[in-house]
Chain A
């Protein structure tokens, strides 16, 4: 008697009971149910919600693994124990020590994120008597990738509960939420515990404990140092490969690019949103570069160093690329219409770079830009639809006359 059979019997036993959704969820997550629909015509498609989610998780896994290595690498590099990596396959980076330290730090984040988040989902499914939805599978993987490495686990727990309950369940669960739950969780952390979400002490593992000691280490993110008007000491290839301090999984633009291509190839992520966001960010970067070369803003301005950043470098630093590929494309919270997706994406790119440049208190603008555009997505869709209706009405009028 296999596990599938056992789960099926459990499901039958608990049918109609309060706990039923919890067992059903386990069963359908692991296996295809025995039940088939008997009446009506159906469309058969291979990619149900679960498979969609699993493909996004597959696209995220390289970022997670890279994040684990990078956590160890940044720690030992800041301590001065290892040499800086040269090239993407450099053995200084892909070493066992880096991996074990990183795994020790990152895996608890993953466990907390999934454990707490799914716990809340199961609880709500049992209370409301509906099936457990798969929506949290991707959120649970995104959350550990977008927080600083040293975030205390209890803060993450509080934030995940808040994000899942207020960001999702109060609206009716997966598919009904207005805001991206992973970003809601990050925004909660950012406003609730700002000392743990910004500054130069949280991005490198062990930096907080070393405060005040003779061998104190620190690691400012590139955006952070630019916002303070300093320059940064990383070369372009380091930034592209991701050998820089930052939130756990968002540093490697190379892997994000591959993940994005994978999502586009499998038709899970919308290429319109990704492309238009990149274009929006590049366009805004170009405008700011233009302002600098027209000498409208002097070197003393506090916006100078971020405005002076080469327009295409905005894609390499901070979480912009990660946000565009994995979070702006969230099918629930993004615009649904094709024209709407272009507007939505361009606005995300433009707003991210604008917030970066003009508000040094919020060095990462992409989080706020995506959340803001999530709110506006239904409005954009509404006007795109109305525009289409008007166009068609006009066409009929012309014909009938």
Chain B
């Protein structure tokens, strides 16, 4: 017995690769640049968006027949805002330093285009279970890119992963640093995140030629 039907599993798997919200639809890039200097905030951000988008899609889907279409954007905003405030409060209560580090960007999940995009494009026209899968799938697709970017930026920019000095100590010159290696300060700056996202897009499109737009 399959856990999900073929059609349902596509809802989860498609956004992970060939219909990725960041690399194919190019949505949500702003937060991908802002918080990926380190791996930990990237993961927390990914989890937060999975929560907000998964639950949000279900709520919108349940309400889809009673929301007047004229005011649907406002209703959607209120729902996202409520969910984001919940995430923010939980982070403040249980991971205060991390919440400081992510600063306004948790709040800015509200403006993440992926969330409004999925509400509009999917949840308003589909049942709650499928909307839930679609929300989780898209948020996972977003999170995967965040984690890849965060991995490279933290490894090359600070020489650490989750704060562990995997390449040696840059001050005491151990490990790789003993032979003259140095951290790449450019990796910590947001422009480099844009370039890393660009490289991921490049690699993805040269592996799958169907993704290249015609113009």
Contact = CB atoms under 8 A, between A and B. Distances in A.
B193 to A, nearest CB: 13
A192 B180 contact: no
Given A166-B195, A191-B189, A192-B187, A155 B182 contact: yes
Contact of B186 (A154, A170, A188): A188
Interface residues of B, number: 11
Contacts of A188: 186
Which of A166, A192, A196 has the largest count of B CB atoms less than 10 A from its CB? Answer: A192
A214 interface: no
B189 A193 contact: no
A194 interface: yes
A152 interface: yes
Contact of A193 (B182, B198, B202): B182
A170 B185 CA distance: 23
B174 interface: no
Contact of B184 (A152, A166, A170, A192): A192
Nearest to B182: A193
Contacts of B181: 154
B185 A194 contact: yes
Interface in A174-196: 188, 191-196
Contacts of A196: 182
A370 B99 CA distance: 40
Contact of B185 (A154, A158, A166, A193): A193
Interface residues of A, number: 13
A191 B186 contact: yes
A152 B184 CA distance: 13
Please report whether the interface of chain B is mostly helix, strand, loop or mixed according to DSSP. helix
Contacts of A154: 180-181
B184 A193 contact: yes
B153 to A, nearest CB: 12
A193 B198 CA distance: 22
A214 B96 CA distance: 48
Contact of A192 (B186, B198, B202): B186
Contacts of B182: 152, 155, 193, 195-196
A192 B185 contact: yes
A191 B195 contact: no
A96 to B, nearest CB: 30
Given A166-B195, A170-B202, A191 B180 contact: no
A194 B195 CA distance: 19
Contact of A191 (B185, B198, B202): B185
A368 to B, nearest CB: 13
Contacts of A195: 182
A194 B202 CA distance: 28
A323 B209 CA distance: 40
Contacts of B189: 191
23 contacts: A152-B180, A152-B182, A154-B180, A154-B181, A155-B182, A158-B184, A166-B195, A170-B198, A170-B202, A188-B186, A191-B185, A191-B186, A191-B189, A192-B184, A192-B185, A192-B186, A192-B187, A193-B182, A193-B184, A193-B185, A194-B185, A195-B182, A196-B182
Shortest Cβ-Cβ A-B pairs, 3 listed: A192-B186, A191-B186, A192-B184
